[in-house]
Amino acid sequence: MPDSNDIILEIRDLKMHFPVKKGLFSRTVGQVRAVDGVSLKIRRGETVGLVGESGCGKSTLGRCVIRLYDPTEGRIFFNGRDISQAGPAEMRALRKDMQIIFQDPNESLNSRHSVEEILEEPFIIHDVGSPEERRIWIRQLLSRVGLPESAAERYPHEFSGGQRQRIGIARAIALKPKLIVCDEAVSALDVSIQSQVLNLLMDLQDEMNLTYIFIAHGLPVVKLISDRIAVMYLGKVVEFTSSQRIYDAPQHPYTQALISAIPEADPEHRTERIILQGDVPSPINPPSGCAFHPRCRFATERCKKESPQFRQLGNDEHWVACHHAGELVATSSES
Amino acid sequence: MFQLRPITKRRLQRFHSLKRGWYAFLFLSICLAFTVLAEVFINSRALYVQHEGKSSFPTYGDPIPGKVFGLGYGYETDYKELQAHFAASGSSSKVIMPLIPWGPNEMDYSVPPPAKPSAKHWLGTDIMGRDILSRLVYGFRVSISFALLMVGMTYSIGVTLGCLSGYYGSWIDLITQRLQEIWMCLPFLFIVIIITAFWSPGFVGLAFICAIFSWMGIASTMRAMTFKEKSREYVTAARSLGAGTGRIVFRHILPNTLSIVISSLPFQVAGGISALTSLDFLGYGVPPPMPSWGELMEQGLGRLDAWWILGSVATAMTIILISITFIGEGLREAFDPKRHSTYD
Ligand SMILES: Nc1ncnc2c1ncn2[C@@H]1O[C@H](COP(=O)(O)OP(=O)(O)O)[C@@H](O)[C@H]1O
Ligand SMILES: [Mg+2]
């Protein structure tokens, strides 16, 4: 278990707003509040799952964290150092420590480059090793992710989806990073392949003491791999706790709805399925107060006016953004 | 270690399988090889002269004065005359002339110009008594070098500006776009006429002027392609590895836009040839007496009674432009991204 005091990444009130531009002079007519005030502490060596419906800002959050985007507001501390304003030179050095694995390896691997060129790129950019050393490392990386050394001479399209994702993983671990954002890294793969790739990710984590931010839109996959799970809704993290507690005692009505939607293997345990009313509101114009209130079964007047704090429940390692958290457990277990 | 990417290999195979484009490509390659070696086949200089036990190969190199071969003059030897001279004197000296012993600027007044096609002049002579076949072949060399030079310049300008405006967007894009619009409104011919009125641009200068007026199409294609490519995930992946702008543009974006650039190349070359021909036709092209198709065309139109002038040049031009177009079509087919994969 990761040491709960060894924080590798702290996000404080992070916001990422994309301007919506219109017209001849690109006037800014609004903001997409893709990430709208997220605070999290992530421990060294753990896997934090990030779940939520498509469009709720998971990818944006992941990309902000590794500074592929410049956040609009808020701070990011990596190993205790504020990197939210880091300049290009500082960022270049940081790139070695933070990597990303994408959903679709068709898109994230340049089809014009051979596997050798793809895997050599990180070494070239950071100017490590001689050409001979790199050749050896590339072959070691390939066998580490379960591909034959002969793969080096081939091109991405010659591989299956799972193998291609392994190439993406090999590239991400080439520089021995500390933190990897897995942005739906297995979502595009067949179920049988998914578990193989998940196993590979877990082995690598043990071996290299990696920290993962594991993004997925469905809970089941995330539960397999995550120590803790953060649930996102409309640019905000609404609940954050251990994956066991998310399943056993979800506090936020949104999390409860997500859990109830998972098909249960054991019919004895089957709970009433909570159907969410309406659509996800637009992040350009989020609802007042608690962004979830238009779809919430328990919404009160207070929820419409006042935005809930992201607060710790008692002394537990459990954070929720809901005015009525704690009261609602009873309600949901009764039904 | 040179290795073709499999997709490139498949494209080449596909190009090969499209017969029309492939034969046009072979034909044009032969034409190109032929013009490069034109001096060996079509020339007023002899291929080989044997005189007083000494051999010489006058085709390339400095002109050899007549005195060397025992003719009484100091200017360049007239090899046809030399051949006749040797034959008449019955000496053992020998002259071997090329297949077509006429240079492009050599005038033959033994038959009144313009002379009909005959065994001596296969396509006849023009109004100044110059062999038309010779002028066609050397004119092709001028045209094709002009077109390649111009296309090279066009692409340099177009790709650079298009890539810059697609990659950086914002004000760079705004400026390039407006520049492009203004440029498209300028009347090319008038500008060329005005420029040539006080400056004679020469061969390279002319290619440059033409390039300056034809980069807009490539720039807008490149702009769109760059814009699309830069937001793709493999670019984000490179950025997350710490790649700088130079690396992203030259190693990632440009190679991925190459297929568009390549498949429009033949059409650009055809455009270049036509541009030079029309400028020559109007008298604003390459300086005389450089052999040129446009000049022949102008002569031919002025002397429709000498039908072989216009007939030859029009046929040659048609054949060349059609074969280039066939090659272009073939390439476009072979590089069609929809045929191979969605992600390319
Ligand atoms: N580069 C961008 N520019 C403008 N809007 C964006 C950009 N990236 C994401 N968005 C918007 O931000 C919201 C969150 O997107 P994203 O983070 O991709 O969601 P998720 O990964 O959870 O599906 C979406 O509404 C999306 O349209
Ligand atoms: Mg996403």
Say if residue B338's pLDDT is above 60: no
Tokens 């006849």 correspond to: B124
Indicate the residue type of A23: G
Q: Does B81 touch chain A (CB under 8 A)?
A: no
Quote the CA–CA distance of B271 and B26 in Å, as a whole number: 20
CB contact under 8 A, A125 and B256: no
The CATH number covering residue A209 comes to 3.40.50.300
Residues from chain A contacting residue B237 (CB–CB below 8 Å): 100, 102, 108-109, 168, 171
CA angle, residues A243, A244, A246, in degrees to nearest 5 = 65
Quote the CA–CA distance of A233 and A133 in Å, as a whole number: 46
The answer to whether residue A106 is domain-embedded is no
- Cβ–Cβ < 8 Å for B327, B28: yes
ipTM entry: 0.89
Percent of chain B with pLDDT over 90: 43
> Count of CB atoms within 10 A of residue A316's CB?
12
Quote the CA–CA distance of A225 and A73 in Å, as a whole number: 30
Percent of chain A with pLDDT over 90: 65
Quote the CA–CA distance of A262 and A257 in Å, as a whole number: 9
pLDDT tens digits, one per residue of A204-222: 999 999 999 999 988 888 9
- Cβ–Cβ < 8 Å for A104, A186: no
- A43 Ramachandran zone, left/alpha/beta (phi>0; psi -120 to 50): beta
The answer to whether residue A199 is domain-embedded is yes
Residues from chain A contacting residue B247 (CB–CB below 8 Å): 125
* Better-scored residue on pLDDT, A174 or B262: A174
Which residues pair with residue A333 across a beta bridge?
A: none
> Count of CB atoms within 10 A of residue A10's CB?
16
The answer to whether residue A108 is domain-embedded is no
The answer to whether residue A295 is domain-embedded is yes
- Run of H or E including B49: strand B48-51
Where residue A334 falls among pLDDT bands split at 50, 70, 90? Answer: very low
Quote the CA–CA distance of A227 and A229 in Å, as a whole number: 7
CA of A216 to the centre of ligand 1 (A): 15
- CA-nearest residue for atom 1, ligand 1, is A18
- Number of domain units in chain A: 1
The answer to whether residue A66 is domain-embedded is yes
CA of A60 to the centre of ligand 1 (A): 6
Residues from chain B contacting residue A87 (CB–CB below 8 Å): none
Where residue B262 falls among pLDDT bands split at 50, 70, 90? Answer: confident
Distance between A284 CA and the closest CA of chain B, angstroms: 22
Q: How much is the mean pLDDT over chain A?
A: 89
Question: Best residue in A108, A164, A182 to probe B by mutation, most B CBs within 10 Å?
Answer: A108
Question: Which residue from B minimizes the CA distance to A88?
Answer: B242
CB contact under 8 A, B6 and A99: no
Say if residue A240's pLDDT is above 80: yes
- Tokens linked to A21: 């531009």
pLDDT tens digits, one per residue of B266-277: 989 999 999 899
Say if residue B340's pLDDT is above 60: no
Report how many helices (DSSP H) and strands (DSSP E) chain B contains, helices first: 15, 3
Quote the CA–CA distance of B72 and B66 in Å, as a whole number: 6
pLDDT tens digits, one per residue of B105-127: 888 888 888 888 888 898 999 98
Environment of ion ligand 2 (residues, CB < 5 A): A 59
The answer to whether residue A120 is domain-embedded is no
Q: Among residues B129, B271, B284, B283, which one has the least CA distance to residue B214?
A: B271
CB contact under 8 A, A107 and B233: yes
Considering only CB atoms, B242 lies closest to which of A111, A125, A153, namely: A125
- A87 Ramachandran zone, left/alpha/beta (phi>0; psi -120 to 50): beta
pLDDT tens digits, one per residue of B195-226: 888 888 888 999 999 999 999 999 999 999 99
Task: Give the residue, out of A17, A18, A31, A33, with the most ligand 1 atoms within 8 A of its beta carbon, to mutate for a pocket test.
Answer: A18
Give the N- to C-terminal CA distance of chain A in Å, as an integer.
34
Considering only CB atoms, B237 lies closest to which of A102, A111, A153, namely: A102
Task: For chain A, list the strands marked E by DSSP.
Answer: 7-22, 27-43, 47-51, 73-78, 81-82, 98-101, 179-183, 211-215, 228-233, 236-242, 311-312, 318-320
Q: Does A96 touch chain B (CB under 8 A)?
A: yes
pLDDT score, position A254: 93
The answer to whether residue A296 is domain-embedded is yes
Q: Give residue A218's domain range.
A: 7-97+177-334
Where residue B342 falls among pLDDT bands split at 50, 70, 90? Answer: very low
Q: Among residues A268, A269, A97, which one has the least CA distance to residue A173?
A: A97
Give the count of Cβ contacts less than 8 A between chain A and B.
Answer: 72
pLDDT score, position A207: 95
Which residues pair with residue B96 across a beta bridge?
A: B48
The answer to whether residue A134 is domain-embedded is no
Say if residue A197's pLDDT is above 90: yes
Residues from chain B contacting residue A122 (CB–CB below 8 Å): 241-242
Quote the CA–CA distance of B141 and B106 in Å, as a whole number: 17
Peptide bond into B289 cis (omega under 30): yes
Please tell me the pTM assigned to this model.
0.81
- Tokens linked to B235: 């670019």
Question: Which residue from A minimizes the CA distance to B233?
Answer: A108
Q: Which atom of ligand 1 is nearest to the CA of A61?
A: 17
The answer to which of A104-118, A186-200, B52-66 has the lowest mean pLDDT is B52-66
- Cβ–Cβ < 8 Å for A165, A104: no
Distance between B321 CA and the closest CA of chain A, angstroms: 32
Pairing label, strands A98-101, A179-183: parallel
CB contact under 8 A, B241 and A111: no
Length of chain B, please?
A: 344
Tokens 């270690």 correspond to: B1
> Count of CB atoms within 10 A of residue B62's CB?
7
8-state DSSP, B253: I
